[in-house]
């Protein structure tokens, strides 16, 4: 996967209801490549989006956002397990 700085990448996300009944990402698809959400590390709400920071089953860390009004998911940040968190 190639990250383009400053340009979110549209993705497909399969969700499930979390412990509060709110939708949470379960599997994220980058084209034909699927990454299961191993652990949600953080979540927050902005005026127009919901954000999730998670560790995938591939060991990488991701930040994705959901525009509920447009029903659009985007990848906003990716770090491979070799890069680590800065």
Q: What is the pLDDT of residue 86?
A: 45
C-alpha–C-alpha distance, residues 53 and 32, integer Å: 21
Q: What is the pLDDT of residue 23?
A: 79
What's the predicted TM-score (pTM) here? Answer: 0.81
For 15-73, what is each residue's pLDDT tens digit? Answer: 987 666 567 999 999 988 999 999 999 999 999 999 999 999 999 999 999 998 888 99
Beta bridge partners of residue 75, listed in sequence order? 9, 64
């Amino acid at each position: 996967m190639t990250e383009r700085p400053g340009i979110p990448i549209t993705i497909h996300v399969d969700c499930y209801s979390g412990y509060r009944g709110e939708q949470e990402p379960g599997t994220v698809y980058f084209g034909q490549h699927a990454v299961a959400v191993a652990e949600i590390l953080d979540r927050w709400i902005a005026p127009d989006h919901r954000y999730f920071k998670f560790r995938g089953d591939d060991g990488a860390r991701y930040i994705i956002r959901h525009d509920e009004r447009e029903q659009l998911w985007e990848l906003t940040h990716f770090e491979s397990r070799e890069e680590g968190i800065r």
